[in-house]
Amino acid sequence: MTAPVAELPSASIGPHPAFRLPVTPAGRLHHQIRLQWPVTRPELAESTGLSQPTVARGVKALIEAGLIAERPDLITGRGGGRPRVPLAPTEPPWLHVGAHLGLKTTRLAIFDTVGRVLRETELPLELDDLDAAEALDHVIAGIHRLRTGLVRPLRTAGVALAGHVAADGTVTSRSYGWERFPLVDALSDGLGIPALAAPHVAAMAASELGVTPLAGPAASGVPAGLYFYA
């Protein structure tokens, strides 16, 4: 039986993202379940440092939103007492698209909320030889081709690029020859969904955060990293 899917909430993201680990209880729990499933409620409490009541409320909200489900079929322990039912991500009701704007090749990928890549492709675009608006038209057309036949809707779009992304979503890139091009607004208009953009290094660091489980209260210190892009 498929869990009911809640109505999609209205997206509220800025054009200039602030990458960080989730801070709300539901966000922390979803992050951990996405990376460590199957996982039980007591295991979530231990790994996140959240109290059992907070875990119970957060799990209930995630189940009602259709993002996770109880999976009795994944119970492994058969010891004494009532078995603990593991939790796992559901098939998310929406998808996301990402683009990496390389100088000579642009890579596109469609993935779900769990992070599983469903489709990907490359576009041979020489950005330093194209007008910014023309280049983005090719990217948008490529995304539309890539999503053909998918039933689930795209929810957000993200772009990693070589250049500076201003707070208003405009991009300046010496590599591409772009000067304050309104990339985020143009991409959002072309796809009909919220969009954001970030420099290569920030996007690379964010991808590391996305696949790093949260550390519980027993962790000794917070890991740090230094990223270079060449």
CATH code of the domain containing 82 = 1.10.10.10
pLDDT digits (tens, 9 = 90+) for 157-177: 999 999 999 999 999 999 999
Q: How confident is the model at residue 205 (pLDDT cuts 50, 70, 90)?
A: confident
Give the closest residue to 202 by CA, choosing from 166, 172, 160: 160
CATH number at residue 191: 3.30.420.40
**Same domain, residue pair 142 and 73:** no
**Tell me, what's the pLDDT at 206?**
80
pTM of the predicted model over 0.85: no
Instruction: Confirm whether 14 is domain-assigned.
Output: no
The values of phi and psi at residue 227, to 5°, are -115, 140
Query: Do 112 and 149 belong to one domain?
Result: yes
For the residues 77-81, what does the mean pLDDT come to?
A: 61
Residue 103 shares a structural domain with residue 73:
no
Among the candidates 57, 89, 121, a domain finishes at 89
- Could you tell me the pLDDT band of residue 80, with boundaries at 50, 70 and 90? low
User: Is 151 inside a domain boundary?
Assistant: yes
Q: Is 20 contained in some domain?
A: no
One domain for residues 159 and 101: yes
CA distances in angstroms from 209 to 23, 93, 107, 111, 175, listed in the order given: 13, 23, 21, 17, 27
Domain count, the chain: 2
Task: Examine residue 52 and state whether it is found in any structural domain, yes or no.
Answer: yes
SS3 28: helix
Q: What percent of the chain has pLDDT over 90?
A: 65
Same domain, yes or no: 205 and 111: yes
| Whether residue 101 sits in one domain with residue 80 | no
pLDDT tens-place string over residues 18-52 = 667 788 999 999 999 999 999 999 999 999 999 99
On whether both 71 and 112 belong to a single domain, the answer is: no
Of the listed ranges 14-23, 60-69, 144-153, the least confidently predicted one is 14-23
> Which domain does 132 fall in, by range?
95-209
Closest CA to 126 of 152, 100, 105, 147: 105
pLDDT of residue 8: 40
Same structural domain for residues 75 and 100?
no
